[in-house]
Amino acid sequence: MRYILVDIPDRENFYPFTLTRSLADCRVGIFTFKERWEHYLKETAGVYAVNYLQVLYTENDSNKDFLLNNESLFFINITAIPNDNLIASIKELKQGEKLVNEKGKWIATKTKERAIPKILLAEFPPINYAGVEFINDAMHLLKLHPSFIQKDFEFIIAQRTSVKTNDTNHLINPSQIFIEEGAQVSCANLNASEGPIYIGKEAIIMEGVSIRGPFVLGNKGVIKMNTSIYGATSIGPNCLVGGEIKNSIMMGSSNKGHEGYLGDSIIGYWCNLGAGTSNSNIKNTAGPIQMWNEAKQLWETIGQKMGMLVGDYTRFAIHSSINTGSYIGVCANIFGNGLLPKNIPNFTWGVTPGYRIEEIFEDINNWKKLKGIIISEEEKQVLEHLHKQSV
């Protein structure tokens, strides 16, 4: 393993998602950040996370060994958006050199050093690389979302050929629709005139579903009957969705299985939106939206349209009404009357912090069992660390 992906310099900008995992495992478009980098590098990459998250990545022996050997490795800023030219420039780095953009922002370093602070702060000879684009924060993901879907789709169709769908479906611009082996699609309307549509392996699209691209459905994802989805939307692997969805990302293993609206939002892993749950994405006045910034601990004006950011393992009761521009932390079990608060912290029970760690583990395990797995000891360690900080 020669390449190590690092999100430490900017991880706070991606809260609540990077509270429980490295940005490497966050998904936008068809791929996670790690998968996308590995496609461009044509090699497996390791992950260097903050101390309490590293436990999620050191069970992989190849990822653990890079900390112990004395080999010169490439450390890469995962928030840089990869392309062939950037990859070539990274691979040309010599021992002790670093790549930066025209403003001095760090892109990559080749070194035998293993301490990230030294890698980031050391005075390695810089090589300037102009034109690289970085992902700034979680809300920036929504802005870049259509381009990620397009580039990921182009990568897929360059490698393989789509499975043909049956005659019960209505396809518009079928050259921009890709269906993987084992997917089941019947009596659906798929319109790829404004962006591509990708359907993953063993995914299911039921009768009456209407989808307008750009759109991604991950492996084993399920879309229930008569669902309406507008691009750009990514539904990650093992997700179950219904109702109406627009311009949103569900990273994986989360459910929105019933009627209700989800718009201009990002949902982490292992979340559940109860029946009838809807979020607002524009104020009644159509005025500017203020949203809580967890890293800066302040309210920021972010624009005219924004739904919600929802951290991993968070669940909403039926008929939850979610306010415009809501920041919602990890492991919240949410219920309450009327519009919910715009800032709901980690480990909230109802609308008040106080969800006990023993109950959290039991409840997460119950949800995971529905999809045939159980909570890992590594996940428990991460959540215990965060829970102690919240008390």
Based on the fold, state whether residues 125 and 148 are members of the same structural domain. Answer: no
pLDDT band per the 50, 70, 90 thresholds, residue 167: very high
Q: What is the pLDDT of residue 117?
A: 82
Based on the fold, state whether residues 97 and 243 are members of the same structural domain. Answer: no
Based on the fold, state whether residues 144 and 80 are members of the same structural domain. Answer: no
**Residue 1 pLDDT exceeds 60:** yes
Q: What percent of the chain has pLDDT over 90?
A: 88
Based on the fold, state whether residues 186 and 329 are members of the same structural domain. Answer: yes
* Last residue in a domain, options 135, 166, 196: 135
Q: What is the pLDDT of residue 93?
A: 93
Based on the fold, state whether residues 271 and 145 are members of the same structural domain. Answer: yes
Q: What is the pLDDT of residue 131?
A: 85
Based on the fold, state whether residues 323 and 176 are members of the same structural domain. Answer: yes
Q: Across the chain, what does the average pLDDT equal?
A: 94
Question: How many domains, the chain?
Answer: 2
Q: What is the pLDDT of residue 298?
A: 96
Based on the fold, state whether residues 92 and 234 are members of the same structural domain. Answer: no
Q: What average pLDDT does this structure show over 312-319?
A: 98
3-state SS track over the chain:
CCEEEECCCCHHHHCCHHHCCCHHHCEECCEEHHHHHHHHHCCCEEEECCHHHHCCCCCCHHHHHCCCCCCCEEEEECCECCCHHHHHHHHCCCCCEEEECCCCCEEEEEECCCCHHHHHHCCCCEEECCCCCECCCHHHHHHHHHHHHHHHHHHHHHHCCCCCCCCCCEEECHHHEEECCCCEECCCEEECCCCCEEECCCCEECCCCEEECCEEECCCCEECCCCEEECCEEECCCCEECCEEECCEEEECCEECCCCEEECCEEEECCEECCCCEECCCCCCCCCEEEEECCCCEEEEEECCCCEEECCCCEECCCCEECCCEEECCCCEECCCCECCCEECCCEECCEECCCHHHHHHHHHHHHHCCCCCCCHHHHHHHHHHHHHHC
* Last residue in a domain, options 102, 135, 168: 135
Per-residue pLDDT tens digits for 232-279: 999 999 999 999 999 999 999 999 999 999 999 999 999 999 999 999
Per-residue pLDDT tens digits for 66-108: 566 678 899 999 999 999 999 999 999 999 899 999 888 999 9
Based on the fold, state whether residues 119 and 155 are members of the same structural domain. Answer: no
Per-residue pLDDT tens digits for 99-152: 999 888 999 999 998 888 888 777 778 888 888 999 999 999 999 999 999 999
Per-residue pLDDT tens digits for 169-220: 999 999 999 999 999 999 999 999 999 999 999 999 999 999 999 999 999 9
Based on the fold, state whether residues 152 and 99 are members of the same structural domain. Answer: no
Based on the fold, state whether residues 195 and 146 are members of the same structural domain. Answer: yes
Q: What is the pLDDT of residue 60?
A: 57
Question: What is the domain extent for residue 155?
Answer: 139-390
Based on the fold, state whether residues 12 and 73 are members of the same structural domain. Answer: yes
